[in-house]
Structure 1
Amino acid sequence: MSCSCTSSSTQENIQQEVMDKINNHPCYSEGAHQHYARIHVAVAPACNIQCNYCNRKFDCSNESRPGVTSSKLQPIEAVKKVLYVGGEIQQLSVVGIAGPGDALANPKKTFETFKMLQEKAPDLKLCLSTNGLRLPEFIDEIEKYNVDHVTVTINTVDPTGEVGAQIYPWIHWNHKKVFGAEGAKILLEQQLKGIQMLTERGILVKANSVLIPGVNEADLPNVAKKLKEMNVFLHNIMPLLSKPEFGTYYGLNGQRSASDQEVMAAQEACGMDMKLMSHCRQCRADAVGLIGEDRGDEFTKEAFVDMSWDELESKYDIKAREQKHQVIENWRAALEVANEKVKIEQASKEQLSSNGETKLIAVTSAGEGTVNLHFGNATEFLIYEAGDKAIKFVMHRKVENAYCKGPEDCDGSYPIEEIKETLKDCDILLTEKIGGCPMDELKEINLICDDSYAFKPIEKSVHDAAKKYFFEKENELG
C-alpha cells in the first residue's frame, strides 16, 4: 500500500538541501548577508515591459536602486570582471544578472554569461532576476545552466488587470505592445505559470513586490497567499523609491515613496502567509560587495578587460577562496554560540514577549555580525524588534547622508534631521561610538543611545539592551 505523505526523513533531507543552497547566499539567507558578497553583472540592457517605477539609467554612480548601472558589459567582460572581483573579494559567493533591463529579455547574453561562469567560476551560485514575462519560455535553459535561484518581481495578483494597469503601462508580447489591463493580465498569467514551473523543478524562487502607496498595498496579502500556494521560498516587500530626480513616471507625477512604517505594516500583513526577506537593499544592476555596500567604482573595465584568462584564473584562486569561506563559516559558528539563539525568524509578538510588548532597536554595523560601526559613519541602520523572550530582524533603513561626512567633505554641517526621522519609532540605538552632540539631538525623539556594546555580537546585544532598559525594570517593578 502506498502512502501520499512525505516521510519525516525525506522532509528533513529536502530541508537540508534547501539550507545548503542558501547557506552562503546573501540575498536568500539573512544570516549570510553580513558575511558573504554578491556581484551583479549588467549584461541585460533591454526590457520587455514598462514599469511606472523604473527608469533604466546608465553611467549613474550616485544612485543605489534597481535599473541603475555605470556601464554595460558584454558577456566575456562580465565573466572577466567576476574572476577579478572574486580574487579581490574572496567572500564573493553569488553572481546575478539583474538588468539593467530584464535578464530574460536578453536571453542570448544572459545564458552566454552563465555558460562561461559555469566553466570559469564553478564555485559561485548563479542567479537571475526577471519580470517573468518570458519565464516559461526559458525554464529549460535556467535548469541547464544550474541557475538555482530566480527572483521574479510580482506586484499584484489582481485577475482583472486593473491594479496591474496602474503599474505597467504596456508589455511587449508577440511582437507588439499590449497596453493597460490586457497587458497586465498576460504578464500575471506568465508570471504564475513560470513560477510554478520553477518550483516544480526544485529551483528556489524569491518574489519581489514593490509597495506602491495607494496602488497595490491592499493586494499584497493576496500576493503572499498565492506565493505560499506555489511553494515560493521567499517574499521580499520593497518600498517604492519615487523621487522626481529618478526620472520615473511615478516620480515625475507626484506618486510618493513608501515609508518604513508602511513597509513594516505590509510585512506584518503578509508575514502570516509567507517567509519574508527583510534585509533587501534594492541593489543596482552593477552592485558589488556585501549587501548594503557598493564597491562597483573600484572595479572599472580598465582593471580587468585586458587580462588573460590564465591571469584571471590565477587571481581568482579557488583554493584560497575555499579557505576564506571556511574561515567565515567558523566565525559564523562562533557567533551563533555567542548570540545564544535569541533570534527567531518570522516571530509573532507573543513569541518575542511574554506580555506582547516589544521595542524597536536600531544597530550600526559594518558587517560580520557585530556592532562595529561608528554612528557618524552610518548610512543605514539595522532594525530589530525585541521582547523579553527573543528578537527578530525587521528591516534595514537607509539615510542619504551620514552624520559625519569625513574631513574631505566636511562643511561644518551635521545632517541629523533625516536620521531622526528615520529612527523616530525606535527605542534604542546600539552603535560602536557616538558623540555627545548627536546623542543629545537623538534624545529629542526619546531614543536611548548606547555604545557599550561595541564589537559585541549584534543579536545578543539587542536582546540584552532591550532587557536592560525596559523588561528587567518592568520585572523589578512587578
Structure 2
Amino acid sequence: MVLPMLNPTTPIQQSDCTTQSCGSGTEQMNHLPEAIRQKIFDHPCYSEQAHHFFARMHVAVAPACNIQCHYCNRKYNCANESRPGVVSELLTPEQAVKKVLAVATAIPEMTVVGVAGPGDPLANPQRTFSTLRQVAEQAPDLKFCLSTNGLALPQYVDEIVRHNIGHVTITINCIDPTIGAHIYPWIFWQHKRIRGAAAAAILIEQQQRGLEMLVERGILVKVNSVLIPGINDEHLKSVAQVVKAKGAFLHNIIPLIAQPEHGTYYGLTGQREPTPEELTTLQADCAVNMTMMRHCRQCRADAIGRLGEDRGAEFSLERLETTTVDYAAAMSRRQAFQQAVAKQLTHHQVSPAAKLQFIPIRQKPLAGSPPPRPIRMAVASKGNGLVNEHFGHAKEFLIYEASQQGIRFISHRHTELYCVGNDTCGDKEVVLENIIQLLADCEVVLCARIGFEPWRALESAGLLPNNEHALEPIEAAVMAVYQERLKATQLAQFTTGCKIA
C-alpha cells in the first residue's frame, strides 16, 4: 500500500494525547486518525517510527533572518559544526532544485524537502516559495515543510497552503515577554528594529496567531522550544499547555547548544547547557499535556539523509556538475521503497501496551513483592528500526524504557566511535569509559555484535550486553529482553519465598 499525498487544506481532527506514555512512535501511530497517519507515515520529523526508515533534505536558500536569538550564530560556509543555522553552501532556488533532484534520485528513502534556514524561510519568502514551487513541478511525489520563528508567519499562511506545504515547525521558546527579553535581543518588525520585552511581545503574538491559522487550515504544526536552564526551563510547561490547546501536533523540547567555539551570545557568556536528565525530566513533565518529540537531532540547515546522519558532502554543487538524473526512475524506486516499508511495518507491527504481557511464575504474586519496575535499554541501530549496529561502530545509542505499561522511546545519545579500525579497536579505554557513563541509567545494551573487551567492561559496570536479538525490530527486541528479565526476577523471588517458607 502506498499512502496517498493529502491536500493540506483538508480539515483534520487533531489527536488527543494527554498521557505520559504517548509519543511520536508506534503508540502514536496506533491511536491517530487515518488522515493524520497518512500525513506522517513517511515524515521522519513528525513520526518516531518513520525516522528509522525515511530521509529528509533541507535546502539552504534562506540566509536572512528577522530576529536575533542569543543561542544562534548563522554560518554559511561551515562543514564542521552540526547544529541549526549552519550550512556548507548557500543555494539559489535553481541550484536547490537541481540538488533536490540529484539527492532524490540517489536516495530512494528521501520523502521530504524542507527549508530551515540558515536564516528564517519567511524572512526570505521569494527564495523559499520559488524553490518549493520549482521542486513541486519536477518532483511532485515529495512532501514539503518549513521551519520558522513565526514573526512573519500570519502574513504567509495563505502562501504556505498554496504551495502544498503540509508541515510547519514554529520555534516558540516562551509565552511571557519578560522571559523572551532574555532570549531575543531584537526583532526587525515593520521596517524597525525593536528590542527588549516589547520585541518579545510582538513575536509571541505573531507566533500564536500563526499557529492558530495553520491549524485552522489543516496543516500539521510542530513546536520547537530550546531549553535554556535558568531562563525558560520551568516556563516551558506553560508553553506546552498553550500550544496543545491551540492545536499543535508535536512539541519538541531541544537542549540549548552553547559551546564557546560556536560564537553565540550564550556560548560566549557562559550560559550552561541542560543535562540529559534535565531534558528528560522536563519532557516527561510536559508530556502530561502534549505529545512530545524525542528523536530530534537538531539538524543543520543543509542536512541530507536520515535523522542522525548527514550525507551533504556527497552532493556538493561541484559534484552535481557530473550527476545524471533520471527522476522518473527515481520516483518508481521511491514508490517501491515505500511499499516495502509499509509491508515491513505491517508484518512487524508491535503495540507494546497490548503485546507486553506479564507471564507470572506463580498465579499470585508473592506477598510484599514490589511491582515490576521500568527497565531502560540502550540500542545500537543504523536504521530500519532494527538492532543492526556493532557496538564498536555505534555513533549514537537509542534509549528505550520498558515497563508493564509498554515500551517508550526516551532519547538518543551521541557517542564517539569505540572502534575506528583494526589497529585501534579495543584500545580506547577513555572512549569506553565515556560510553559507560553516557549509559549509566540503562541496564541493558542491545547491539548486533560486540567484542570481548567492551563486553567485559560493560558487564563490570552493571550494563548487560545482549547481541541475541541482532537484526530484530527494536521494540520486539526490547520487549523480549524485558520479559526475560521480568521472569528471572520473579523466579528469584519465588525461589527465595520457597526457602523462607
Q: Identify the range of structure 1 (125-134 vs 163-172) with the bigger mean alpha-carbon deviation.
A: 163-172
Distance in 1, Cα, partners of 2:409 & 2:127: 37
Structure 2 contact 385–473 (Cα < 8 Å) conserved: yes
Q: Would the aligned equivalents of 2:173 and 2:225 in 1 still touch at CA under 8 Å?
A: yes
Matched, 1:341 2:351: yes
User: Structure 1 residues 227, 44: closer, same or farther in 2, change over 3 A?
Assistant: same
Distance 1:108 1:87 in 2: 26
Matches of residues 66-465 of structure 1 in structure 2 within 5 Å?
Answer: 66-158=84-176, 161-305=177-321, 312-314=325-327, 317-336=330-349, 340-342=350-352, 355=371, 357-399=373-415, 401-406=416-421, 413-414=428-429, 415-465=431-481
Cα distance in 1 between the residues matched to 2:315 and 2:344? 28
What residue ranges of structure 2 are gaps of 5+ in the alignment?
1-10, 17-29, 355-369, 495-501
Q: 1:408 and 1:111, CA in 2 relative to 1: closer, same or farther beyond 3 A?
A: farther
1:13-24 mapped onto 2 (5 Å cutoff): 15-24=33-42
Native 8 Å contact 1:30 1:277 kept in 2: yes
Find 1:29's aligned residue among 43, 47, 63. 47
User: Contact conserved, 1:209 with 1:238, CA < 8 A, in 2?
Assistant: yes
The letter for the 1-side match of 2:141 is D
Secondary structure, counterpart of 1:182 in structure 2? helix
- Label 1:291 to 1:152 Cα distance change in 2 as closer, same or farther (>3 A): same
d(CA) in 2 for partners of 1:175 and 1:45? 18
Other-structure match for 1:351: none
Shift of 1:453: 1.3
Rounded Cα–Cα distance in structure 2 between residues aligned with 1:226 and 1:305:
48
SS of structure 2 residue aligned to 1:371: coil
Instruction: Read off the aligned partner of 1:80 and give its amino acid letter.
Output: K
Does 314-323 or 357-366 show the bigger shift?
314-323
Change (3 A) 1:376 1:52: same
**Counterpart residue identity of residue 318, structure 1:** M
The change in CA–CA distance for 1:447 and 1:143 in structure 2 (over 3 A counts) is: same
Could you give the per-residue CA deviations for residues 86-139 of structure 1, whole angstroms, max 9, x where no partner exists? 111001100000001111111110000111011011101000000000000101
Between stretches 411-420 and 432-441, larger displacement belongs to 411-420
Tell me: higher relative CO, structure 1 or 2? Use CA pairs within 8 A at least 6 residues apart: 2
Q: Is the 8 A contact 2:116 2:147 kept in 1?
A: yes
Q: Distance in 2 between matches of 1:46 and 1:408?
A: 47
Question: TM-score w.r.t. structure 1 length?
Answer: 0.90
Query: Sequence identity, in percent?
Result: 47
Q: For residues 251 and 417 of structure 1, do their structure 2 counterparts lie closer, same or farther at Cα, with a shift above 3 Å needed? A: farther
Cα distance 1:15–1:184, how it changes in 2: closer, same or farther (>3 A)?
same
Deviations 1:323-363 (A, max 9, x none): 22212221222221xxx42268xxxxxxxxx9362111110
Q: How many residues align?
A: 453
Q: Write the distance in 2 (CA, Å) between the matches of 1:329 and 1:284.
A: 28
Scaled by the length of structure 2, the TM-score of the pair is 0.86
**Structure 1 letter corresponding to 2:299:** C
SS at the partner of 1:57? coil
Q: Distance in 2 between matches of 1:468 and 1:13?
A: 28
Partner-residue secondary structure (3-state), 2:295: coil
d(CA) in 2 for partners of 1:419, 1:59: 32
| One-letter identity of the residue aligned with 1:145 | H
RMSD: 2.4
Structure 1 counterpart of 2:417, which letter? Answer: A
Q: 1:281 to 1:14 in 2, by over 3 A?
A: closer
The 2-side partners of 1:48 and 1:407 are apart by 50
Q: Does 1:51 find its partner at 2:61?
A: no
Give the 3-state SS of the residue equivalent to 1:147 in structure 2.
Answer: coil
Kept in 2: contact 1:358–1:387 (CA 8 A): yes
**Distance in 2 between residues matched to 1:215 and 1:14, nearest whole Å:** 34
Q: Deviations over 1:263-319 (max 9, x none)?
A: 110111100100111111111111111111111111111222576xxx534476322
Q: Which amino acid aligns with 2:468?
A: S
Instruction: Tell me which amino acid in the other structure corresponds to 1:166.
Output: H
Q: Is the 8 A contact 2:55 2:112 kept in 1?
A: yes
Name the SS for the 1:139 alignment partner: helix
CA deviations 1:39-82 (Å, max 9, x no partner) are 00100111111111111123222222111111111111111111
Q: CA distance change for structure 1 residues 119 and 343 in 2, over 3 Å: closer, same or farther?
A: farther
1:38/1:95 contact within 8 Å kept: yes
Does the CA contact (< 8 Å) of 1:43 and 1:97 recur in 2?
Answer: yes
Deviates more, 1:442-451 or 1:383-392: 442-451
Query: Measured at CA, do residues 316 and 304 of structure 1 come closer, stay the same or move farther in structure 2, by a change above 3 Å?
Result: farther
Cα–Cα, structure 1 residues 114 and 62, in superposed 2: closer, same or farther, change >3 Å?
same
CA displacement 1:425-448 (0-9 Å, x = unmatched)? 111111111122222333354211
- The verdict on how the C-alpha distance between 1:427 and 1:153 changes in structure 2, with shifts beyond 3 A counting, is same
Between 363-372 and 429-438, report the one with greater CA deviation: 429-438
Match of 1:3 in 2: none
Distance 1:411 1:436 in 2: 9
The secondary structure found in structure 2 opposite 1:392 is strand
More displaced 10-residue stretch of structure 1: 383-392 or 271-280? 383-392
Q: Is the Cα contact below 8 Å between 2:87 and 2:302 reproduced in 1?
A: yes
